[in-house]
Amino acid sequence: MGALWIAHVKVLDDEAYGKYAALAGPAIAAHGGHFIARGGAYEQLEGNDRPRNVVAKFPSLQAAHDCYHSDAYQEALNHARDASERDLVIVETSE
């Protein structure tokens, strides 16, 4: 089964977050992930409003997990930690 990586982000520092994004994309791709939503239009219905919403699809929950814990993604994440407020979850799909 596949998995979705779902992030809700409020960017606080555009320059630093841009460095994160430049490194995160290749790390995600290296683990078989690809973006199916990335910062497009949205409607906040409940919960905290974080204006950047990102969904990436991975071939498995394990691949998404391995991506997050990889050296390449952790290097990218160093740029996002102080540059954003984030919620991130990986969810196994039923397909």
Instruction: Look up the pTM and report it.
Output: 0.90
Question: What burial class does residue 80 get, using C-beta atoms within 10 Å of its C-beta: 0-12 exposed, 13-18 middle, 19+ buried?
Answer: buried
60-88 confidence digits (pLDDT tens): 999 999 999 999 999 999 999 999 999 99
CB 4 within 8 A of CB 91: yes
- Supply 91's token pair: 């969810």
43-63 confidence digits (pLDDT tens): 999 998 999 999 999 999 999
Residue with tokens 């409020």: 10
**Distance separating alpha carbons of residues 54 and 36, to the nearest angstrom:** 8
Alpha carbon dihedral 15, 18, 23, 29, in 10-degree steps, equals 180
Beta bridge partners of 95: none
**Distance separating alpha carbons of residues 77 and 71, to the nearest angstrom:** 10
